[in-house]
Amino acid sequence: MIPLFLSLLLAWTPGTGAQQDTLMPFMAHLDSDNNVNLKWGFSEVQGTITFQLTVKTTGWVGFGLSPNGGMAGADIVIGGVGRNGNYFKDYHATGNEFPLVDEKQSYTLLSLIEADGQTTMTFSRSIQSCDEEDFHITDSPVKLIYAYGKTDDIGYHSKTRGTKEVNLLKFMARSSLQDGNYLDFVMENFLVPAEHTYYNCKVMKMPKLNGKHHMYRVEPVIKNLDLVHHMLLYSCPSSVNQINEQQCFTGGPGADCFKLVSLWGVGGLAFELPGNAGIPIGGQDYEEFYRLEIHYNNPAQEAGRRDSSGMRLYYTDQLRQHDLGILDAGLMVPSWGYVIPPTASAFRSYAVCNTAHFSDILPDPVPDLSVILIMLHTHLAGRKVRVGLFRNGTQIDFLAMDDNYNFEMQRVINLGTIKTIKPGDEIVVECTYYTANRKGVTQLGLATTDEMCLAFIVYYPAISVDKCWSEPNMHAYMAMMGETDYQGIVEMLKTKAWDQASIAVHEATMKKVPQIGFISNDHSNYTIYEGNIPNMMATPSVSCSSDPTLKGRKTNWPGSVKS
């Protein structure tokens, strides 16, 4: 099975009219054509999870759990109904090649049926198997992969393969499309400059809508997968009243458009919002103009390439209970004095957002914020991203984490359960970078060879806060280092002969120095404050059990272990 997994549109379609399966109550279509359907259910007491995969084929079918949507590290089962009866085995993949049969077969086949042109395979396993060749199922979203063939020759599967991210243990059902109304926010035959990195911003006017509506589904419209790195859509204040297109961050009317409405990252899928929240558009006091920002990554600096990528947003006049908001939290970009050393196998950067200061720029009391989705974002050196939630100085949860972060698979994560940010809580974003293959320092910036450390937090009810960034106080850093010349300290960091000891000292120092926090909203109001990075817990460990009668999933919060 060769590299799987093109980005397919997310299609959440609850069944209608059918009695719910009490043993496997959850269901998702894994492909956009509804040819691959998955049902599942699990028992906390028994520590087991059961899957039922139904595929429109009479050939072999494959299903797996992957750390990043690819083959490497995936836990896979392959089965079918052959001439000599049923076949079914547990595999694991070490790379982009045919997977290897597991020495320990941890999956149990319950049934395999071929009828009416489709194959239905039902199987189970422990939620946490002690087999090192199996994928550990946790409370975090997992990339499900699938592939199938027209015959029982497993080596042939053409283009019938794909991936979809699902939180198996904290699944949140999605509604079907309510109607066919949508708005396209796209570039139009834009000539991509022959530059490594280019940000293009287009301000466009939204068609007039009769009253307030809610957008509930976001689909990427990608015309050049090799060029488009990420897209952000902002609404504009009433002061912006003309269309415009120019390079981003160079002024112009779009410079005042700060309210983030939608987003997409390379490798991402379409996504739908839950039935009780939507992105408000139209009606009185709502914006007419929107700014689409696209980051083009053109490392070959090809000339003559044109692009019409963007986003398609579906909307309805059936209003949901809540307006949705997006909070951009993380490290300030650019942050001129911040450098990530070369030759580091795991360098950690931190940013803190103190929600106690939201009230500095808001006229009304700040409500509890219900977080439902998050998109994590770094550039090429990023390997891990964790977002911790702190209350009264103590970490109470992780809003999100990805210990297998993949630059090519930046997706909106469905948390599967609502997590609450209360006024005064702190949000800490931690990014781990790998620079062992780099000779010079890496700075925070816009190019993919620069770095970012951001978490786009999707929540309700919406409040008028858009960005909550921080950066180390470089004046405090200079004082700690005994330096007085700002340019001199920056040059020293760039030219320093780094080794593992000095890298560790630099990481600890950048975390220890006070942070300068910056919070802003779409009305250009902002506040600046000083804060500190609290200690973040180690990633919770998950125990395993080879005894299916025991509870197989136990999460331990090692409060004494800090990073």
| pLDDT tens-place string over residues 291-336 | 999 999 999 999 999 999 999 999 999 999 999 999 999 999 887 7
Going from N- to C-terminal start, the domains of the chain cover 26-166, 172-323, 327-540
**What class is the 26-166 domain?**
mainly beta
* Residue 2 pLDDT greater than 60, yes or no: no
Pairing of strands 277-281, 322-323: parallel
Instruction: Say how far apart CA 306 and CA 319 lie, in whole Å.
Output: 37
Query: Per the structure block, which two tokens stand in for 139?
Result: 């409370």
**Percent of the chain whose pLDDT exceeds 70:** 87
Angle at alpha carbon of residue 380, lines to 378 and 384, rounded to 5°? 50
Residue 543 has what pLDDT? 54
Angle at alpha carbon of residue 64, lines to 59 and 70, rounded to 5°? 110
Which CATH number applies to 327-540? Answer: 2.60.120.230
Tell me the three state secondary structure of residue 360.
Answer: helix
Residue 219 has what pLDDT? 92
Which residues are tagged catalytic?
199, 377
Instruction: Say how far apart CA 270 and CA 8 lie, in whole Å.
Output: 8
Query: Per the structure block, which two tokens stand in for 295?
Result: 């980051």
Max mean pLDDT among 68-77, 280-289, 339-348, 518-527 falls in 339-348
* Residue 7 pLDDT greater than 50, yes or no: no
Instruction: Say how far apart CA 119 and CA 80 lie, in whole Å.
Output: 7
172-323 and 327-540 agree in CATH topology: yes
Average pLDDT estimate for 49-56:
96
Q: pLDDT (tens digit, 9 = 90+) per residue, 451-478?
A: 999 999 999 999 999 999 999 998 888 8
* Residue 175 pLDDT greater than 70, yes or no: no
Give yes or no for a contact between 183 and 315, defined as CB atoms under 8 angstroms apart: yes
Mean pLDDT of the chain: 85
Instruction: Say how far apart CA 32 and CA 422 lie, in whole Å.
Output: 37
* Residue 99 pLDDT greater than 90, yes or no: no
Residue 474 has what pLDDT? 87
Q: Where do the DSSP E strands lie in 392-474?
A: 394-402, 412-421, 426-433, 442-444, 454-460, 467-472
Instruction: Say how far apart CA 421 and CA 426 lie, in whole Å.
Output: 8
Average pLDDT estimate for 204-220:
91
* Residue 43 pLDDT greater than 80, yes or no: no
- Per DSSP, helices labelled H in 254-313 are none
Residue 558 has what pLDDT? 41
For residue 22, name the pLDDT band (cuts at 50, 70, 90).
Answer: low
Instruction: Say how far apart CA 142 and CA 42 lie, in whole Å.
Output: 15
More confident residue, 341 or 495: 341
Average pLDDT estimate for 20-42:
81
pTM of the prediction?
0.70
Instruction: Say how far apart CA 352 and CA 393 lie, in whole Å.
Output: 12
* Residue 438 pLDDT greater than 70, yes or no: yes
Instruction: Say how far apart CA 416 and CA 345 lie, in whole Å.
Output: 32
Which CATH number applies to 172-323? Answer: 2.60.120.310
* Residue 559 pLDDT greater than 50, yes or no: no
Instruction: Say how far apart CA 277 and CA 323 lie, in whole Å.
Output: 6
* Residue 272 pLDDT greater than 90, yes or no: no
Determine phi and psi for 526, rounding to 5 degrees.
-150, 165
Q: Quick count: other Cβ atoms within 10 Å of Cβ 540?
A: 16
Give yes or no for a contact between 355 and 366, defined as CB atoms under 8 angstroms apart: yes
More confident residue, 31 or 544: 31
Match 């796209």 to its residue by tokens.
186
Give yes or no for a contact between 197 and 296, defined as CB atoms under 8 angstroms apart: yes
Q: Which candidate, 391, 355, 389, places its Cα nearest to that of 470?
A: 355
Average pLDDT estimate for 93-111:
86
Q: pLDDT (tens digit, 9 = 90+) per residue, 523-545?
A: 778 999 999 999 999 987 555 54
* The amino acid at 27: M
Residue 524 has what pLDDT? 75
Query: Per the structure block, which two tokens stand in for 376?
Result: 């994590």
Residue 381 has what pLDDT? 94
Q: pLDDT (tens digit, 9 = 90+) per residue, 130-148?
A: 677 778 888 778 899 999 9
Max mean pLDDT among 186-195, 242-251, 479-488, 546-555 falls in 186-195
Residue 25, Ramachandran bin (φ over 0: left; ψ between -120 and 50: alpha; else beta): alpha
Burial (CB < 10 A; 0-12, 13-18, 19+), residue 528, is: exposed
More confident residue, 176 or 562: 176
What one-character-per-residue DSSP string does 155-224 give?
T--TT-EEEEEE-SSS----PPP--S-EEEEE--SEE--SSSEEEEEEEEEPPP-SS-EEEEEEEEE-S-
For residue 97, name the pLDDT band (cuts at 50, 70, 90).
Answer: confident
* Residue 344 pLDDT greater than 90, yes or no: yes
Calculate the CA 393 to chain-centre distance. 26
Task: Using the Cα atoms of residue 392, residue 557, residue 24 and residue 404 in order, give the sign of their dihedral.
Answer: positive
Average pLDDT estimate for 250-279:
86
Q: Would you mind telling me the total number of residues written for the chain in this entry? A: 563
**Percent of the chain whose pLDDT exceeds 90:** 55
Residue 528 has what pLDDT? 96
Looking at the chain, the number of H-run helices and the number of E-run strands are 3, 39
Which residues are CB-contacts of 205 (< 8 A; sequence separation ≥ 6)? 243, 288, 289
Least confident of 149-153, 198-202, 251-255, 540-544: 540-544
| HEC per residue, 110-122 | EEEEEECCEEEEE
Instruction: Say how far apart CA 473 and CA 518 lie, in whole Å.
Output: 12
